C-alpha cells in the first residue's frame, strides 16, 4: 500500500503545468457532477412519483465472462422495470450521465465513486420522468419496459481494454464491452422481440446514445420502430472566454487515455483526428436512425466547464453568473447569447433533417428528461405550449411537427433555472 501511494506521488510530481490544470479541472467536473446528480435525485425523490417505483440494481450476469468491468473492476449493471399491457413489447432505455475522466488521477478518483464503481451505487433507484410508470407523468411511455443503464466507465461507454495502463493503477477501460454486454443481456430477456424501442441518455449518457444509436438500431428487428433521444448530450467544441480550447484538450485526453477512437464513427475518424469525432457536431449528420435532441440553450454544465471553466483564469466576475444566470450582467448575457447562437448555428443542418426532432429551450439547466418536474408536469418548461414529453411523443409517433426552438433568455417564464447558490 505504501509503495502504491509512493507511485501515485511520483505521478503527480511529473505533471506539467498544463497537466495540473486539466487534472484539477476534471476532478472539479466530477465532484460537481456527483453533487448535481445527488441534488437532482433528491429533487425527484421528493416529487409525486409513486413510492413503489424503487427499482433494484441488477448486476450483469455474464460480466466477468465477458470481461465487462467498471473502472475499479466491479460489475456493471442496470435497473429494469418490466412493461405491462400494450407496453410489454416496447422498450425505453436510458443511459445515465456523469461526465468523463481524462487522466490516471481523475479516473482513480472516479473509481471511488458511484460513477466508477458499482460498490458505491444505490441498491435501488426511483424511476421518474421518461422512466415513470405513472401515465399522468409519462403519457406515452409509462407502460413500456424501462431500463436505466448505470454509468461506471468514464468514457461514454466507448473505452477499450487495449488502452489500459499496466503500471499498478488497476484501472479498467471497458466502456465498449460494458455497452455490448448490457445490450446482449437485455436482448436475451425480451429486447430482441421489441416492436418499439427508444434509446435515450443524459449528458455523457446522451453522448453515448449518439455514438451507439445506429448500432442499437442494427441489433433490433428490422420491422421495429427504433429511435434515439439525446438529452443535453450535444457538447459544443467552443473556446472558453479566455480563448483557450479547454474542452478540446479535455476530450483529446479522454479519447487517448481510454482508447475511445475504436468506438467512434469511421467516416469521421478517417478525415479528422479521433478526439474531434467525440464532438457530436462532427458526426451527427451521419447518424441514420431518427434522432431527437433535448438541449437547453444555456446548458449550465457547458457554461461552467466549456465556456467559463475554472482553468480559464482569475475571472472572479463570472463566479456568480456561473451559479445563477439571473446574476449575470449585461455583458455576460451577451457572451451567453453568443454561446446559444453557436449551438443553433451548429444545429442548422440537423434542423433540416425531416426525421429529426428538437426541443431547444432557453433554460439554465442540464438534463431534463429523467426528472418529472422538467419532463412532464404542471411546472415543466414549455415551448409552443408543449412539454418535453409531449414534443418527444409527437416526434416518436409521428403525430405532429416536433422542432421547437425557444426565444432567447429570459423570455420563457416556464423555465426551471438551476440556482447553485442554494445547493
Positions annotated as catalytic residues are 203, 299, 366
The distance of Cα 393 from the centroid of its chain, to the nearest Å, equals 20
Contact assessment for residue 398 and residue 357, using Cβ atoms and an 8 Å cutoff: no
d(CA 200, CA 152): 17
Residues 6+ apart with CB under 8 A from 389: 130, 138, 139, 140, 375, 376, 380
Closest CA relative to residue 136, chosen from 418, 380, 397, 401: 380
The distance of Cα 411 from the centroid of its chain, to the nearest Å, equals 27
C-alpha cell at 422: 442554494
Contact assessment for residue 303 and residue 322, using Cβ atoms and an 8 Å cutoff: yes
Contact assessment for residue 336 and residue 363, using Cβ atoms and an 8 Å cutoff: no
According to the 3-state scheme, what is the secondary structure of 282-306? HCHHHCCCCEEEECCCCCHHHHHHH
Q: What is the dihedral of CA 38, 322, 340, 313, to 10 degrees?
A: -120
Contact assessment for residue 98 and residue 34, using Cβ atoms and an 8 Å cutoff: yes
Q: How many CB atoms lie within 10 A of CB 1?
A: 5
Contact assessment for residue 78 and residue 122, using Cβ atoms and an 8 Å cutoff: no
Q: Is 71 exposed, middle or buried (0-12, 13-18, 19+ CB in 10 A)?
A: buried
Amino acid at each position: 500500500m505504501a509503495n502504491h501511494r509512493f507511485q501515485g506521488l511520483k505521478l503527480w510530481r511529473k505533471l506539467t503545468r498544463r497537466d495540473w490544470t486539466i487534472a484539477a479541472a476534471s476532478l472539479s467536473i466530477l465532484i460537481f457532477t456527483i453533487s448535481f446528480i445527488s441534488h437532482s435525485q433528491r429533487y425527484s425523490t421528493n416529487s409525486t412519483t409513486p413510492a413503489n417505483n424503487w427499482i433494484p440494481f441488477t448486476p450483469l450476469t455474464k460480466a466477468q465472462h465477458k470481461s465487462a468491468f467498471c473502472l475499479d473492476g466491479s460489475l456493471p449493471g442496470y435497473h429494469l422495470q418490466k412493461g405491462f399491457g400494450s407496453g410489454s413489447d416496447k422498450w425505453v432505455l436510458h443511459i445515465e450521465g456523469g461526465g468523463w475522466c481524462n487522466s490516471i488521477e481523475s479516473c482513480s478518483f472516479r473509481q471511488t465513486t458511484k460513477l466508477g464503481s458499482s460498490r458505491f451505487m444505490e441498491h435501488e433507484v426511483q424511476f421518474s420522468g421518461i422512466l415513470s410508470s405513472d401515465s399522468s407523468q409519462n403519457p406515452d411511455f409509462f407502460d413500456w419496459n424501462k431500463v436505466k443503464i448505470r454509468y461506471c466507465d468514464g468514457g461514454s461507454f466507448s473505452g477499450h481494454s487495449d488502452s489500459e495502463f499496466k503500471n499498478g493503477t488497476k484501472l479498467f477501460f471497458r466502456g465498449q464491452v460494458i455497452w455490448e454486454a448490457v445490450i446482449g443481456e437485455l436482448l436475451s430477456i425480451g429486447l430482441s422481440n421489441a416492436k418499439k424501442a427508444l434509446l435515450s441518455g443524459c449528458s455523457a449518457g446522451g453522448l453515448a446514445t449518439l455514438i451507439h444509436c445506429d448500432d442499437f438500431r442494427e441489433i433490433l428487428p428490422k420491422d421495429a420502430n427504433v429511435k434515439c433521444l439525446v438529452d443535453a448530450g450535444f457538447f459544443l467544441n467552443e473556446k472558453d472566454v479566455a480563448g483557450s480550447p479547454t474542452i478540446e484538450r479535455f476530450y483529446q485526453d479522454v479519447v487517448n487515455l481510454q482508447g475511445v477512437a475504436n468506438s467512434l464513427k469511421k467516416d469521421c475518424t478517417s478525415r479528422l483526428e479521433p478526439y474531434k469525432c467525440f464532438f457530436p457536431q462532427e458526426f451527427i449528420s451521419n447518424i441514420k436512425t431518427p434522432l431527437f435532441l433535448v438541449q437547453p440553450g444555456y446548458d449550465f454544465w457547458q457554461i461552467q466547464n466549456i465556456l467559463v471553466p475554472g482553468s480559464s483564469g482569475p475571472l472572479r466576475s463570472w463566479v456568480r453568473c456561473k451559479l445563477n444566470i439571473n446574476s449575470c450582467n449585461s455583458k455576460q448575457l451577451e457572451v451567453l447569447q453568443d454561446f446559444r447562437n453557436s449551438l443553433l448555428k451548429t444545429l442548422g443542418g440537423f434542423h433540416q433533417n425531416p426525421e429529426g426532432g428538437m426541443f431547444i429551450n432557453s433554460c439554465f439547466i442540464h438534463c431534463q428528461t429523467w426528472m418529472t418536474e422538467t419532463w412532464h408536469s404542471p411546472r415543466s418548461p414549455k415551448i409552443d405550449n408543449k412539454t418535453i414529453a409531449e414534443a418527444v411523443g409527437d416526434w416518436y409517433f409521428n403525430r405532429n411537427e416536433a422542432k421547437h426552438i425557444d426565444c432567447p433568455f429570459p423570455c420563457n417564464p416556464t423555465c426551471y433555472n438551476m440556482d447553485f447558490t442554494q445547493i
